[in-house]
């Protein structure tokens, strides 16, 4: 009996101890998992990393004056080579150093996170008659040969082209004292050209935004901010440097065009997103290309950001372009196929920078078309906040004319008379036949009020959605 009793007690004790050991083991595992989670949050991997290059983002309370001393301190402690210093859009710097040192750096309490630098892809234009301007100034696709440029052409508005640079002397941007383009900054440290475009992408984009023949805003001031090299290669760190410079040096009213994309982390916000978000709070409107996939923009930075205006590409037949990215993150579509642009190549051999490309396609061309319309709107409403610009653009878009849209995509097509989407919220309802009721809208000489639908102007002139003063291209 005693032996049996002892055995029973031993079993009971063992059973009592086992759960206790299991609990302690589980607690240790949870602590390890929590530590790993914190490490992953502080040291962030990218999908297309640039070997041994990192973006260090400091805590938000870090002042601009503290950034360089901290960068020097970390360089002294962990080694490496600093490339860019960020003081405005975010606080931090980019650095080249081995991964173990970068991981150690990420654990410093003064560091918000360290992110692997990543390759970024410009939404390339591909060789394929600028029908685009004709399409965006009318509600229906009737194929006339007019562009309703009206009186606002982006005068006084500053457009910053974050791209491969700009060939500022191209005749599309004016000549002599009337030149509206400049190469303002160059952050491509491995392939410095003083901002001059040696790839051609940036010049093409700038000409669709503000070129004399191809641009949707023919008098906007164009600023080249070079973030891509001669073969269109760039990185997240270089993009952040460009955003940081614009945030510090922009002149209002200001907008940014970015036709570039990065594969996005599904969980964490990236340094590019954090920088752009901060820049937008300074009153700068950002227009970005959806990218060429086709894929859902939810996986692309900065296209997935709700704060930016994300643009997909449409065709002459009012269909989504087969290459265009799509999804709920797209704000609207704009023409992006069979478009001529300014070229950096002397095709005609005359030694004058006046050449044009053959027909091109890509969401890279859709975004600047929208950016030019944004410039025209800011010409009229220069103090409009980025959210108001985005709202006016979407409110004025032509609805339900597009086909073959990707899943979740909005059926919105760019309409160039975007100011009326803004003014329309203020116009009084006036009964038919009334001729002496103040509409509440003030028009300067030479301006006219865009109206949709079928009806009569008070003077008895029949109108449709496509009439009004028209300028031939």
Preceding peptide of 253 cis, ω within 30°: yes
Query: What's the number of CA atoms in the CB half-sphere (13 Å) around residue 339?
Result: 35
Residue 286: both structure tokens together: 């950002």
Residue 62: both structure tokens together: 């870090």
* Cβ–Cβ under 8 Å, residues 373 and 418: yes
The one catalytic residue among 364, 366, 396, 409: 364
Buried b (16+ CB within 10 A) or exposed e, 386-419: beebbebbbebbbeebbeebbeebbebbbbbbbb
Question: Which runs of consecutive H residues, i.e. helices, occur in 328-380?
Answer: 363-380
| Distance of alpha carbon 155 from alpha carbon 152, whole angstroms | 7
Residue 287: is it exposed, middle or buried by C-beta count within 10 angstroms (0-12/13-18/19+)? buried
364 classed as catalytic: yes
The one catalytic residue among 88, 158, 170, 201: 201
Cβ-Cβ contacts under 8 Å for 248 (sequence gap 6 or more): 87, 88
Place of tokens 């696709």: 141
Q: Parallel, antiparallel, or unpaired for β 260-263 and 254-258?
A: unpaired
Place of tokens 């002139």: 461
Residue 369: both structure tokens together: 């078309």
The one catalytic residue among 137, 163, 229, 274: 163
Q: Parallel, antiparallel, or unpaired for β 300-301 and 260-263?
A: antiparallel
**Catalytically active residues, by annotation:** 163, 201, 364
């Amino acid at each position: 009996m005693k032996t049996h009793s002892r055995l029973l007690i031993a079993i009971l004790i063992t059973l009592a101890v086992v759960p206790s050991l299991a609990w302690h083991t589980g607690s240790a595992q949870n602590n390890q998992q929590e530590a790993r989670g914190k490490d992953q949050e502080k040291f962030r991997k990218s999908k297309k990393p640039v070997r041994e290059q990192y973006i260090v983002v400091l805590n938000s309370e870090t002042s601009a004056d503290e950034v360089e001393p901290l960068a020097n301190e970390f360089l002294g402690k962990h080694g490496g080579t600093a490339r860019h210093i960020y003081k405005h859009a975010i606080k931090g710097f980019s650095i080249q150093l081995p991964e173990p040192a970068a991981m150690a750096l990420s654990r410093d309490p003064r560091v918000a996170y360290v992110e692997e630098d990543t390759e970024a892809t410009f939404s390339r234009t591909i060789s394929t008659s600028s029908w685009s301007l004709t399409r965006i100034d009318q509600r229906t696709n009737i194929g006339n040969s007019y562009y309703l440029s009206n009186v606002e052409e982006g005068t006084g508005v500053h457009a910053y082209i974050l791209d491969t640079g700009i060939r500022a002397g191209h005749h599309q941007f004016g000549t002599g004292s009337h030149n509206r383009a400049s190469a303002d900054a160059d952050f491509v440290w491995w392939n410095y050209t003083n901002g001059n475009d040696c790839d051609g992408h940036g010049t093409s984009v700038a000409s669709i935004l503000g070129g004399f023949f191809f641009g949707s805003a023919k008098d906007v001031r164009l600023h080249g901010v070079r973030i891509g090299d001669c073969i269109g290669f760039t990185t997240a760190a270089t993009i952040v440097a460009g955003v940081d410079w614009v945030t510090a040096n922009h002149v209002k009213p200001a907008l940014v065009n970015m036709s570039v994309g990065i594969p996005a982390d599904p969980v964490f916000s990236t340094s590019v997103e954090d920088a752009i978000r901060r820049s937008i709070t300074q009153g700068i409107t950002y227009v970005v290309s959806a990218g060429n996939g086709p894929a859902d923009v939810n996986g692309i930075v900065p296209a997935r950001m709700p704060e930016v205006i994300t643009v997909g590409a449409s065709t002459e037949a009012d269909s989504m372009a087969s290459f265009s990215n799509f999804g709920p993150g797209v704000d609207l579509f704009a023409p992006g196929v069979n478009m001529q642009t300014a070229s950096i190549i002397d095709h005609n051999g005359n030694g004058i920078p006046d050449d044009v490309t053959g027909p091109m396609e890509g969401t890279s061309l859709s975004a600047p078309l929208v950016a030019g319309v944004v410039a025209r709107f800011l010409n009229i409403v220069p103090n409009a906040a980025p959210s108001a610009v985005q709202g006016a653009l979407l409110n004025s878009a032509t609805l339900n004319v597009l086909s073959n849209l990707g899943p979740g995509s909005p059926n919105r097509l760019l309409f160039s008379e975007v100011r009326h989407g803004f003014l329309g919220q203020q116009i009084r309802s006036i009964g038919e036949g009334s001729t002496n009721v103040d509409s509440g809208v003030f028009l300067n000489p030479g301006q006219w009020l865009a109206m949709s639908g079928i009806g009569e102007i008070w003077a008895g002139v029949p109108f449709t959605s496509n009439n009004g003063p028209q300028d031939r291209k």
